Structure 1
């Protein structure tokens, strides 16, 4: 099958020798790939249910390399041999890099992810000669809806909120394994490839990567939430880096200090927090992540843990506490016509953020640096503005017309420079230091 599977090699490049399923993380050979029937009568899969198209191993192909199902209809859709969930074709050609987004409930993970992707869609081709595109529109549908809500909203003067990420529902896939239902989180899938003035633009997708991003509900990281029947955070063990979203407004000590310089309703001490924003010990979230890696990582040693990017959210209200506020641009254009990233500048900002966190939330710094030897602290604001309130002082959302994200692109730029330098370059003179200060 691997010889017939892809006449798209001219476009996508050669097949990878091993494929990692982005749903269940099963590693398999291309020849073991299942195909998805197209004929409307071929319904019913033993793992996915009676209304799902059948999966099959083909023995007949069209001259174009498409498989023929048992009714003779050609198909090009592919699935994992373990979980039977559909896998976009790009995953078979582009080396994947996995990123895990973690944090406490109501910490703003979905706001951060939405604004980061929106910003990167414009910034990467404009400044870095890279195209960030959806590898599969179906998998990214929820994120696209969030982007539309915040940035393509026809009514910019009505407050909007992103829905809370739930621990069950259509954000997950249910698979029957061993006679029992197993719930897998749906990943967000992107391709990133050189274009335009990028020095590797002639390689096209051959010079690109697949980005696989996981955004769990905050409750998924609470102790006891991960099980064999709901392994929704097993991606932690595969990730190239973890993005831990720390919300300072959930910490009483931080809120008290910030309330002296900001009237943001998220930090005002005279207002009750929304009922859904019950404060959690955010260091416990990090330590629970560590425990799960010990259970699932192939080399559970401190020196082998993934790099940790601590994303300190809602910087629009607490950022003035930093000596480097307003934040400097983390990149600049070079003579080659593409931008480079200043690792040195990011590390300097990280050092200032770390000092502030050591003063008010030292347990977060201790937990982060116990978890990984490679820690960076990056301030961001997904909205760049305070939320709106009603006459009772209750938060009712953000005005789309006011949203101006701050530094949301920096975590992924830093990560690309550190671990994919062929895609994003480092400015000459920048250091390679990535640790906590």
Structure 2
């Protein structure tokens, strides 16, 4: 017999044996139950005739002379006992780990969590469970106690509203914060496939209570677990994410502004420039999570023909999105693309995680409900915002470029609402951060004037070289930004007004991911589509806005290469 809460063992060899109400054998306390051995070697248990309290055997009231199985639960008041009968009873009892209690959902057949006995109620209530249908048992046992019988009805904790100020870690998937101690581990053993929230195909998420010598959490089946998940959305986090400094970057723009092309080119250009100028490296932090962006980058730079270089438009519910649980309901959110920026500084290595999203432009349009479709809420918690302005969609630019043959200027039916998107972004940010309409954020905001190769002759003034003595020149950034701001004040002042209503830290950049005018395909499956010409790819200043931001966020990494 084992006392579950104390982990104490009692071997019973003399029969009949009396179990006291305190879970002891033949003690001076009142007898609660009697175990006797039959001539056939079976064991029977029944309540003492003078004991009036309720006794439960295997979660049912103990009646007259019930037979014992190989493993049994016995509950006498608040005393929880396990009874092991048979030839191998002692060996079975020694396999039980009373420091870990499994919280099992008998209705779904899944494990909800693993916790110390004293933390079972907290674990159940933290997951907003009522206790209905739950059973608890120490690790290694094959039978358990109904939760309500032991703890009564649970009082689930209400889901707290989004709080952008508490917690040391912000999830890159649902953007909610949490403390490291609340992070969930992801089970490794195949028998633990099935999570009560994410479904039968996902491995169980659990709050770890035991760890191996290397610091890996041990799952309920005894296997080391190497992956961790956000406690809010329960999705797997990139390896090493919680140990790094983390920066979320939001890229905002109208539908068809060219955000996918920009991101695809940016990663390639940034990998080259941070190494060339600063001796730093930019690598995949989550290769599987970055797969779609990697495929787009490879498709663009490995293409032989314009048809093979076309990147698909990011759709609201497309491959760049996934369903995540957020505040009790499944919502579609953009997949994060995670990279690690690092530099060897001699005595130590400085590293930071950089998180990007390829949002559908429609997510920034007015009328998209934040709660049902929160796909662009990352703008409120980002460390920098990059607004991609598309001159080819703007009426004033089109009028100035009416003789330019670029097919992007001839697309009919495009609605230019870029100033409205900026205004919508301002409203969302201030609503989520509870700012007044007159307040501004200090987050860096890079206004990127795209397709510079089309309109650079309109500028009338030459931009300074961004690099001086091998590193980004702050003076050049400031001077060029002022030139471009003045140009926009004459051409489309609403963009300047909208950007500077959002942030007090705004700079303007002229960029071109392609560096040339694409062509309109006239035949084949891609007829009518506009595509870049691979041999003419010549990106212009695509990495400059990001370098400007990184100089502010990671000054120790972004020091001139020796």
TM-score range, shorter chain: 0.7 to 0.9
Asked whether 1:161 is paired with 2:297, we answer no
Per mean C-alpha deviation after superposition, the further-off stretch among 388-397 and 238-247 is: 388-397
Give the 3-state SS of the residue equivalent to 1:87 in structure 2: coil
Runs of 4+ deviating beyond 6 Å: none
**Partner residue in 1 for 2:88:** none
CA contact (8 A) 2:445 2:499 kept: yes
Q: CA deviation at 1:130?
A: 0.7
Q: How many angstroms apart in 2 are the aligned matches of 1:218 and 1:179?
A: 26
**Partner residue in 2 for 1:251:** 394
**Partner residue in 2 for 1:172:** 321
Asked whether 1:373 is paired with 2:504, we answer yes
Higher share of residues assigned strand: 2
CA contact (8 A) 1:121 1:132 kept: yes
**Partner residue in 2 for 1:314:** 451
**Partner residue in 1 for 2:348:** 203
Offset from partner CA, 1:8-39 (integer Å, 9 cap, x none): xxxxxxxxx82211111222221211111112
**Partner residue in 2 for 1:399:** 533
In structure 1, the gaps of 5 or more residues are 1-16, 334-338, 428-437
Q: How many angstroms apart in 2 are the aligned matches of 1:374 and 1:386?
A: 32
Query: What TM-score comes out, normalization by structure 2 length?
Result: 0.66
**Partner residue in 1 for 2:486:** 355
Aligned match for 1:263, one of 402, 405, 417:
405
**Partner residue in 1 for 2:182:** 32
The structure with the larger Rg is 2
Offset from partner CA, 1:149-184 (integer Å, 9 cap, x none): 11133x256552111111113322313456532222
Asked whether 1:331 is paired with 2:467, we answer yes
Which structure would you say has the larger RCO, counting Cα contacts within 8 Å and 6 or more residues apart?
1
Offset from partner CA, 1:39-98 (integer Å, 9 cap, x none): 223222222222111101122322222222222222200101111011123221111112
Aligned length: 391
Q: CA deviation at 1:357?
A: 1.5
Q: How many angstroms apart in 2 are the aligned matches of 1:91 and 1:244?
A: 26
Give the 3-state SS of the residue equivalent to 1:304 in structure 2: coil
Query: What TM-score comes out, normalization by structure 1 length?
Result: 0.84
CA contact (8 A) 1:248 1:254 kept: yes
**Aligned Cα RMSD in Å?**
2.2
**Partner residue in 1 for 2:291:** 141
Q: 1:156 to 1:418 in 2, by over 3 A?
A: same
Per mean C-alpha deviation after superposition, the further-off stretch among 159-168 and 418-427 is: 418-427
CA contact (8 A) 1:46 1:176 kept: no
**Partner residue in 2 for 1:192:** 341
Q: How many angstroms apart in 1 are the aligned matches of 2:367 and 2:421?
A: 11
Q: 1:426 to 1:62 in 2, by over 3 A?
A: closer
Asked whether 1:364 is paired with 2:514, we answer no
In structure 2, the gaps of 5 or more residues are 1-166
Q: CA deviation at 1:232?
A: 1.2
Asked whether 1:224 is paired with 2:367, we answer yes
Give the 3-state SS of the residue equivalent to 2:448 in structure 1: strand
